Amino acid sequence: MTSTSNLSLPFIMPAQAQKHVTHNDALLVLDALVQLSVASRQLSVPPDDPQPGERHIVAEGAGGLWTGVPAGHVAAFQDGAWRIFAPQAGWIAWIADEGAALVFDGEGWSPFTGTAINPAAMVGVNTSADGTNRLAVKSDAVLLSHDDVTPGNGGIQLKLNKSAPGDTASVLYQTEWSGRAEFGTTGDDDFHIKVSADGADWHEALVIEAGSGAVSLPNTPPLANSFNLLKDAGRFAGSPEPQSALATSFETPDYIVPTNGAGIAAAAKFIYNNSTYGGPGDPLHADMDALVSRMREEGFRRYGVEFFAMEITAGSGTNTARTIGGVLHYLPFATPQLPLPPELTLNFHVLVKSGSLGCGIPGGHNTLYLDGVRHGTPAQILPADGWRQVTRHYRVSPSRYLGYDNIVHQIFVTPGTVFWLAAFTVTPGLLPITPERYYGVIPSLEAWR
């Protein structure tokens, strides 16, 4: 070999005369190509008064002393003459009059940007990104501004896009990597604001319904205490509500009308001063004890107003069908055509003894909660689920208001289903509903009128 493989630097041959000529020529090549920085890539003819060592990337249509030089070749002015070098793939050149670096890809020169970052698998700014946090920034402040260079439209949007309503798009605030506050569309398309003291137990402070813009404050008590609009206060012990903590006998209320051949009977009763919790009265039925244990702390289960649970056995009728959980369900009871306010809360507890019970969601702004958790689709309740608190926020537009709804409870069952119903309340307005809030018997207005 007489020269190097990459830059074609001449070797000094054995017993060669005038070795300094070969050596100096190699130095000139190195001086031209190593740390390559050219004055410009815009010229197709040489400048009139080049400086020693001045370099250019020859433009299209070369002429003058560059006539015949292919575009993209490097011209270096050395020893009073232009020397031409053919670039090789991977050469990097700094373009002085552009303040930018170019890289030769084998066919032409293009901007050198290092590894492509569009798209980039992950980006870390002053910290390391990972598989979950693909963009990670560690900084005292983060600035996002409108585009005043392109220019943009003068505005700016931060977009958080999720795949489906049941997913989450939110902003989470943390203390020592533990969540403390979150806002966004969490679990549905309504807007939620919630907080936590420990990152484990979360409490919703505000919910804005996507369909109406209506605002609810789930953990903020109503401005006035609610009264039950039902005369018997949902105790199933006769109307008007017994003016005593005691309830002597079960009575089916007028506001529950069996349908599709359903039958109604008394189930268990909560007993005032019961022996289950230290009193002299009878013990609580196991299922009633399970219900009261959900409603009250242990020290408050001995006393309280007595109330019955109602047992409803569905008939074989198939009117008013709803498909819930992939199964056809039918209406077991209705309510008379009673007047309803534009906003109210229905709350009751159900225990499915056999069969299947479905909680429907009609159109409009009728919202379903099970044990304080909002459900965006109809929900099925089975015997293995135990007691469930069913709550429905009923809201209608005054301009689309009929004033009645005889199936506002939206309960449906399969034929032959047996279930218990207890602590029925219908209260004006929208009561706060959260997983920690279980409603029991709410007194009626009857005694105060």
Contacts 24+ apart (CB under 8 A), 195-199: 199/174
Burial class (CB in 10 A: 0-12, 13-18, 19+), 274: buried
Say which residue, 36 or 31, is predicted with more confidence.
36
Each residue of 143-154: pLDDT tens digit?
999 998 888 899
The sheet that has 109-111: what strands, in order across it?
A: 37-38, 92-95, 100-104, 109-111
Residue 33 has pLDDT above 70, yes or no: no
**Cα–chain center distance at 7:** 58
- Per-residue pLDDT tens over the stretch 66-106: 999 999 998 888 788 888 888 888 888 888 898 888 888 88
* Percentage of the residues of the chain whose pLDDT score is greater than 90: 57
Q: What is the CATH code of the structural domain delimited by 257-448? A: 2.60.120
Q: Which of these ranges, 209-223, 329-343, 381-395, has the smallest mean pLDDT?
A: 209-223
Domains in the chain: boundaries: 35-111, 168-216, 257-448
User: Which of the 8 DSSP states describes residue 294?
Assistant: H
Enumerate residues 6+ apart whose C-beta is below 8 A from 169: 160, 161, 162, 184, 185, 186
Q: How confident is the model at residue 174 (pLDDT cuts 50, 70, 90)?
A: very high
What confidence score (pLDDT) does residue 91 get? 83
- Which strand (E) or helix (H) includes residue 374? strand 373-375
Dist CA 394 CA 363 (whole Å): 11
* pLDDT, the chain, mean: 88
pLDDT for residue 5: 46
Copy the structure tokens of residue 249: 């006998």
Rounded to whole angstroms, how far apart are CA atoms 377 and 380?
10
Of the listed ranges 10-19, 52-61, 308-317, 321-330, the least confidently predicted one is: 10-19
pTM score? 0.65
pLDDT of the residue at 213: 84
> Residue 172 in 3-state DSSP?
strand
Residues 177, 200: Cα–Cα separation, whole Å? 12
* Mean pLDDT of all residues in 331-345: 87
